Amino acid sequence: MPHELFDDLAPRRARGARYRRLLTILSIAVHVVIVSVVLIGHELVDLSPLPTPQRPLTFSELLPVTIEPIPMPRQAARAAASSPVERAPTIEPDDIKPDTHTDSAQLSRSDRDAPRGAEPGVSTFDPGVTVIGDFAPPPTPPAPPAPPQVIRLHAGMNAPVKIVHVPPIYPAIAQAARTQGVVILEAIIDEHGAVTSVRVLRSIPLLDDAAVAAVRQWRFTPALLNRQPVPVVMTVTVNFELNR
């Protein structure tokens, strides 16, 4: 019998120890939460007294301001006193003389025809005397017309046609070096069909000068845009062959 009682009390004591441990842990957690809430609430809620508002700024009295005159330097004062100042009269004169200017209607035809700047009533124009007057300047001559703009040859235009062909002179040094090929040039043809400028696009050094010299002598019909002659830029080729 005592052994059976001992066996029944052992599990009860173990369960009681576990309950006490749980209660202790729960009590510690509750205390930690309460302390945290108190500390955080104290930081969030400031229980200190509110500050006293400052007194508004007011002007209790007005202080007078004294304006001191700035003395003028002696030299400037002497100059101002010595220089007379012309002022309009403010008092009516005793007598007013009649106007002595001659009416324009009374001028003679010779006076009205006199050149501007000359005194009326004096002699008429003298070809041997230079009269300095308020004459209008001579008209400015019109500016020369701007040169027509060069247009690159494109569809919708009447292309120029070569009417004068000058073959190139094959350089002897190029023949000795057995050099041949096609030189491509860009030529500007004016509104009269003459070649005014030549530029090398594809070069063969021994043949460039001969090709340029030949193309400069070519002549074309003018290029037409809307039936009007215009200068154009076009590409021409010069072929050098040893067999020929």
pLDDT tens digits along 119-161: 544 444 555 555 455 556 677 888 777 777 888 888 888 999 9
The pLDDT of residue 123: 46
CB neighbour class for 223 (10 Å; exposed up to 12, middle 13-18, buried from 19): buried
Which parts of the chain register pLDDT below 70?
1-10, 41-48, 50, 53-63, 65-66, 70-73, 75-90, 92-93, 96-137, 244
Helix, strand, coil tally for the chain in percent (to 5): 30, 15, 55
* pLDDT of 45: 63
Domain ranges in the chain are: 157-240
Architecture of domain 157-240: 2-Layer Sandwich (3.30)
Confidence (pLDDT) at 61: 63
Q: Map tokens 């030529």 to a residue.
A: 187
Give SS3 for 186.
strand
Q: Is the pTM of this model over 0.85?
A: no
